[in-house]
Amino acid sequence: MSTTTGKAAQPAKVQAGPGTSASPAAGPQGRRGRKRASMGVQNAAGWLFSTPFLVLFTVFMAFPILATLLMSFTDFGLRNVTHPLDAKFIGFENYVNLFSDDKFLKSLFNTAYFVVIGVPLTIFLGLVAAVLLNNGIDRARTFFRVGFYAPVVTTIVAVAVVWRFVLDPSDGLIGGLFTEVGLTPPDFLGSETLAMPSMIAMAVWRNLGTVMVLFIAGLQAIPTEVREAAKLDGAGVWHEFRRITVPLLRPTLLYATVITTIGYLNVFEEPFVMTQGGPSDSTLTVSLNMYREGFNFFHMGYASAMAYVLFVVIMGITVLQLRLLKDNTK
Amino acid sequence: MSATRAPGAVPTAKSKEPIRPQGMKKTRNPKRPLVYVLLSVGLLIMSAPFLWMALSAFKTSSELSASPPVWIPTEWTLDNFRDLLDKLDLPLYFMNSVIVAVLVTLSNLVFCSMLGYALAKLNFVGRNKIFGLVLGALMVPGNLMLLPLFVLMSKLQLIDTYAGLVLPFAAGAFGVFLMRQFMQSIPDELLEAARMDGAGEWYIFWRIVMPLVKPALATLSIFTFLGSWNNFVWPLIATNDPDKYTLPVALATFATDPNKAGGSNGMLMAGAFLVVLPVLVLFIALQRHFTQGIATAGMK
């Protein structure tokens, strides 16, 4: 199938110099071939194949990341959208102002609230679903898995619109169920205390499928022999779970926690659609706050500082999680 | 296999564990009804919002505001859809979403595969650095780039254009990572043989490697298409002209504007239904790819 047309020898078979057999994975055969294939040709090909990604990465990622940092030290405003270089350098003023800005501190607190409650709940329920699905259910497994995963693939905006209606105290589903049992339904999204928990509930509902799928893959990677051995040694269900499943799931738990945390720290669509950050900023998250400052009020320098604070927080928490949850047995 | 099947016991479908003592299977069975009950309750909760949405989209306004709530509409109506289409040019937004998602998917398929191939199979100076860059890019939250990207796109006059919506997502790090993982499993001998026959790298990539990674391409297509379809923040920022809105932007703008949607939950449910339906159908049809893709990406 892969016969090539020209049998002509490859031009320019420059012998590879010393130190070029860098790939440790290549076996003896591969290494011999690699030496014969010219290093120069591969260098050129390697960079040519990398070029499209690198160009896009540089223009639309690396440059903006750097530019955000630079903008955060300026008074970048609406007029600077057309004249970016006119923005005035103001040092750390934006950052100083941020930490005396009650609204920003509130949004930082709200985001933390969302993450601290939301992430463990999502991980826990995702793990429960995975363990249940991995528990001898064979024929119905796909059916349940599809059902639990479906919210993940759906558009957050649409889902947020639906949840807004589900939680509506007068016409909504939950409100209706309250009335049916003779209770007055609370105004979930209109209440300062209940708006955030409602949004967390929705996030958990939407994201536990991802965690579940990760854990199912992790559970299936545990060799059956290990479980059988534990059973033969008289380990009960709980013991097996505690001593076999949990330790061997550690890498999965780490990955699931890290990606869920990063996702939750960036929460934006849910408050944008469901509450617009209200009532009285009780669901204003850092991302939503940044969006408003940057694109409604065009305080783009100030918003850039917010973006960087959030970024630093995300990096810090990720590193911390990698440290804390790292596999200590290795 | 059938010899181990205890009479009356539910057979475990696969022959994964061919010789299993009968007693062991009996200890599993009693729990199974409980597992099913728990899963069913879970599934009911998980699907309730979707059911509520789908059913409400076809309810009359009186049943929409009925208390206690009406689950199944007694009188099915398309009025909500009709009203919505009067107010919102959904076919236009649908087309915008499709065009952007298709372009993003195609460019990711080509560009991510190219770099994935280079990282997996080509030996070149700087390879490890580029791979480090890709891994780093995976960690960067999209929100960090929004402000300068908007300025850049304004300068390039790409606001309200498809190019402006597509370019920032034209080559994602996730795709590179996925393609590299898959391409690493292609035997080097195969590529060496082709090189020996005088095939150029582009030929090898396009004619030999790409056909071999079709499952990975399928997975990447699904994830990229979906990511683009559901994307909200950037299209919200990069479009001012309502004619260039994608579906989520149109729906969110409609839903948060009290003058337009008002209290019409019927119209909103019809809108959400139309946005979610294609995705759900696609997902159910291709569900195997989804879970495999997630698991592959997570396994590293």
Q: Is B150 inside a domain boundary?
A: yes
Can you give the pLDDT at residue B20? 44
Cβ-defined contact of A291 to B38 (cutoff 8 Å)? no
Task: State residue B147's pLDDT score.
Answer: 93
Global ipTM: 0.81
Q: Check which CATH number belongs to the domain holding B227 and give it.
A: 1.10.3720.10
Same domain as B187, residue B45: no
What is the model's pLDDT at position A242?
A: 81
- Record: contact A273-B141, CB cut-off 8 A: no
> Where would I find the H helices in chain B?
22-28, 32-56, 61-64, 79-87, 90-121, 127-139, 146-155, 162-166, 173-183, 188-196, 201-203, 210-212, 214-230, 233-238, 247-256, 265-285, 287-299
Taking the CA atoms of residue A179, residue A181, residue A184 and residue A185 in that order, the dihedral angle to the nearest 10 degrees is -70
Residues B7 and B121 in one domain: no
Do residues B135 and B213 share a domain? Answer: yes
Average pLDDT value for residue range A121-148: 85
* Same domain as B51, residue B186: no
Task: Answer yes or no: is B256 within a domain.
Answer: yes
CB contacts of B97 in chain A (<8 Å) are none
B273 lies in a domain?
yes
Instruction: Based on the fold, state whether residues B178 and B46 are members of the same structural domain.
Output: no
Q: Which CA distances in Å does A102 have to B93, B155, B243?
A: 38, 34, 38
**pTM for the whole structure:** 0.82
Tens of pLDDT, residues A63-98: 999 999 999 999 988 888 888 888 889 989 999 999
B46 within domain boundaries: yes
Confidence at residue B139, expressed as pLDDT on a 0 to 100 scale: 82
Q: Selecting from 1.25.40.10, 1.10.3720.10, 3.40.50.150, 3.40.50.720, what CATH number does the domain A101-324 have?
A: 1.10.3720.10
The larger pLDDT score, comparing residue A23 to residue A304, is at A304
Separation CA A139–CA A142 (nearest Å): 7
pLDDT, one tens digit per residue, over B199-237 is 888 999 999 999 999 988 988 998 899 999 999 999 999
| Chain A CB within 8 Å of residue B91 CB | no
B31 shares its domain with B157: no
Q: Is B144 on the interface with A (CB under 8 A)?
A: yes
Where along chain A do its domains lie? 101-324
Question: Do the domain assignments include residue B28?
Answer: yes
- Domain hosting residue B101, numbered range: 85-299
B255 and B169, same domain (yes or no): yes
Q: Check whether residue B119 and residue B185 sit in a common domain.
A: yes
Query: How many domains are contained in chain B?
Result: 2
- Examine the domain organization and report whether B98 and B46 are in the same domain: no
Burial string for B76-94 (b: 16+ CB within 10 Å, else e) reads eeeebbeebbeebebeebb
What gap in Å lies between CA B272 and CA A156, rounded to an integer?
10
* A206-223 pLDDT tens trace: 999 999 989 988 888 888
> Is B69 within the bounds of a domain?
no
Residue B275 lies in a domain: yes
Query: How many whole angstroms separate alpha carbon B77 and alpha carbon B63?
Result: 11
* pLDDT band at A170; cut points 50, 70, 90: confident
B236 within 8 A of B252, measured Cβ to Cβ? yes
Residues of chain B scoring pLDDT < 50: 1-28, 299-300
Residue A280 contacts B where some CB pair is shorter than 8 Å: no
Q: Is B99 on the interface with A (CB under 8 A)?
A: no
Nearest-CA distance B215 → chain A (Å)? 18
Domain identity same for B120 and B45: no
Pairs of CB atoms within 8 A across A/B: 360
| Within a domain: B166 | yes
Confidence of residue A32 (pLDDT cuts 50, 70, 90): very low
